[in-house]
């Protein structure tokens, strides 16, 4: 005769992620969706301008020189916005081996510390890239005649969003809300 055993989840004392979200969570979701939309449009534009580069170089025999500078701006925009959304959705790259094998109280300390570190890192990234943007705003990017400081704007946005998203994770942590595990295939 077997005795039924009830298996408890690893974090059973945390409350489940609420079905209704706070206003702050909704705002973060909107920021995340807009960031992904901008990154997606940037990716399409990047593809189109590289198509134009190949066409201009091999068909027209006149290479459009502006494509490289615009592509650098777009890659920064796509990469940094995508990275900040990864923080929001818990799909960012991280080494969690030691956290995952630790006892639950130690694991919770690691989780809290990682969110605090991300808030601080995001704030520093935002402030320093703002200073860089202001410093470089007076000079122009060659061939496209836009301010050089524009290169630092995606970094500044990423820092601000990383800070906001990490604060959201800290709020959930303090409330004891277990955030859903997200898979990168979602």
Classify residue 118: in a domain, yes or no: yes
pLDDT score recorded for residue 52: 92
The tally of domains found in the chain comes to 1
Alpha helix positions (H), 59-137: 67-88, 97-101, 104-136
pLDDT score recorded for residue 2: 52
Classify residue 136: in a domain, yes or no: yes
Q: How far is CA 146 from CA 1, 76, 108, 157, in A?
A: 77, 15, 46, 18
Classify residue 53: in a domain, yes or no: yes
* Residues of the domain holding 143: 24-175
Classify residue 144: in a domain, yes or no: yes
pLDDT score recorded for residue 28: 96
pLDDT score recorded for residue 17: 53
pTM of the model: 0.81
Tens place of pLDDT for every residue, the chain, 186 residues?
A: 554 444 333 333 444 555 678 899 999 999 999 999 999 999 999 999 999 999 998 999 888 889 999 999 999 999 999 999 999 998 887 777 888 888 988 989 999 999 999 999 999 999 999 999 999 999 999 889 999 999 999 999 999 999 999 999 999 999 888 765 554 444
Classify residue 11: in a domain, yes or no: no
Classify residue 74: in a domain, yes or no: yes
Classify residue 8: in a domain, yes or no: no
Structure tokens that stand for 162 in this block: 């990383």
pLDDT score recorded for residue 8: 36
**What is the C-alpha R_g of the chain?**
22
pLDDT tens, position by position, 108-150: 999 999 999 999 999 999 999 999 999 999 999 988 999 999 9
61 three-class SS? coil
What is the sign of the dihedral through the CA atoms of 64, 68, 73 and 75?
A: positive
Classify residue 2: in a domain, yes or no: no
């Amino acid at each position: 005769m077997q005795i039924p055993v009830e298996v408890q989840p690893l974090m059973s004392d945390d409350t489940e992620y609420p079905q209704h979200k706070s206003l702050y969570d909704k705002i973060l979701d909107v920021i995340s969706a807009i960031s992904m939309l901008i990154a997606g449009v940037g990716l399409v534009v990047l593809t189109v301008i590289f198509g134009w580069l190949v066409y201009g170089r091999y068909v027209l025999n006149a290479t459009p020189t502006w494509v490289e500078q615009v592509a650098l701006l777009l890659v920064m925009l796509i990469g940094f916005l995508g990275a900040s959304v990864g923080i929001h959705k818990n799909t960012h790259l991280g080494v969690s081996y030691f956290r995952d094998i630790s006892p639950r109280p130690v694991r919770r300390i690691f989780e809290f510390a990682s969110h605090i570190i991300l808030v601080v890192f995001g704030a520093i990234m935002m402030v320093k890239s703002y200073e860089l943007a202001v410093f470089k705003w007076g000079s122009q990017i060659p061939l496209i005649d836009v301010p050089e400081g524009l290169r630092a704007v995606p970094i500044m946005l990423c820092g601000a969003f990383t800070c906001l998203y990490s604060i959201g994770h800290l709020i959930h942590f303090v409330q004891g809300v277990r955030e859903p595990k997200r898979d990168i295939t979602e």
